[in-house]
């Protein structure tokens, strides 16, 4: 259920986002920005999403689409979980494959009859999500995720994120220094900052990152968040472009 809520949020953001061209250089900038903070690398996450057709697919058609993606990732024999949901108005095929001991691929195909006030034609959505602990794989995973979306006639709207951690809770001075290190590394020209008791969230613009989103009258292409986890006694940091696509 938590994933579905996050997925809805991603789709709402992506509906405001133009098609994005994947850039391996951008992913390297993300990893470099994380290293500049001194954080311990924890995870990489790549998400691509698109409407792929205007049809209400049955499960056999959805599995055919799914199998094409598995072939791109060389993962046809690596499925370890598959679930299906079905009603008169929607069908969902959710597949998870283990690419290696640390890297997971999730493919979600959702075919829906939308309410008439939104759009009369049915349509099928595709989400490709790759996550793992090896940050060196973020560029290759991003390239394959985009290839998967384009192969099914979708329009890529890819987001990438790297996660790191610091031992203990960072005070405000340390948080400020971390943000300054990232801003200096990425040459971020302006930021919008939001902070509450638990989470710091910052959005900005870097000339080193070519893709962006428009929110109101501002252009952004970098999203940074920090949050302290009491149970782990760690402060986690997420750096994403153009937005952070996973729950934090």
* pLDDT value, residue 24: 60
* pLDDT value, residue 213: 82
Higher pLDDT among residues 121 and 151, named by residue: 151
> Does residue 17 surpass a pLDDT of 70?
no
Per DSSP, the three-state class of 111 is: strand
Between the CA atoms of 231, 234, 239 and 240, what dihedral angle is there, to the nearest 10 degrees?
Answer: -10
> Does residue 146 surpass a pLDDT of 80?
yes
> Does residue 14 surpass a pLDDT of 60?
no
Here the tokens at position 72 are 């791109």
The full set of domain ranges for the chain reads 46-158
Q: What are the two backbone dihedrals, phi and then psi, of residue 127, each rounded to the nearest 5 degrees? A: -125, 130
Q: What is the pLDDT of residues 38-79, one digit of tens each?
A: 999 999 999 999 999 999 999 999 999 999 999 999 999 999
* pLDDT value, residue 131: 96
Q: What is the pLDDT of residues 112-138, one digit of tens each?
A: 987 777 767 899 999 999 999 999 899
Per DSSP, the three-state class of 39 is: coil
Topology at the third CATH level for domain 46-158: TBP-like (3.30.2030)
Which whole number is the average pLDDT over 17-24? 48
Q: Model-level pTM?
A: 0.84
Higher pLDDT among residues 247 and 228, named by residue: 228
Q: How far apart are CA 108 and CA 126, in angstroms?
A: 6
Identify the bridge partners of residue 164 per DSSP, sorted by sequence position.
41, 237
């Amino acid at each position: 259920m938590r994933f579905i809520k996050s997925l809805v949020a991603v789709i709402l953001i992506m509906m405001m986002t133009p098609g994005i061209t994947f850039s391996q250089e951008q992913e390297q900038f993300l990893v470099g920005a994380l290293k500049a903070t001194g954080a311990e690398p924890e995870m990489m996450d790549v998400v691509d999403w698109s409407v792929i057709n205007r049809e209400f697919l049955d499960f056999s058609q959805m599995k055919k689409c799914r199998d094409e993606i598995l072939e791109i990732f060389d993962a046809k024999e690596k499925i370890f979980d598959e679930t299906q949901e079905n009603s008169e108005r929607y069908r969902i095929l959710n597949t998870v494959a283990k690419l290696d001991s640390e890297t997971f691929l999730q493919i979600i195909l959702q075919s829906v009859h939308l309410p008439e006030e939104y759009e009369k034609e049915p349509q099928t959505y595709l989400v490709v999500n790759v996550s793992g602990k090896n940050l060196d794989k973020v560029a290759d995973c991003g390239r394959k995720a985009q290839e998967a979306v384009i192969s099914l006639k979708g329009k890529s709207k890819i987001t990438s994120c790297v996660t790191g951690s610091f031992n203990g809770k960072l005070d405000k001075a340390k948080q400020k220094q971390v943000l300054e290190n990232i801003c200096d590394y990425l040459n971020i020209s302006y930021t919008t900052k939001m902070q509450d008791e638990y989470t710091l969230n910052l959005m900005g613009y870097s000339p080193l990152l070519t893709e962006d989103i428009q929110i109101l009258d501002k252009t952004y292409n970098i999203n940074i968040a920090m949050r302290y986890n009491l149970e782990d006694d760690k402060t986690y940091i997420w750096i994403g472009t153009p937005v952070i696509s996973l729950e934090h």
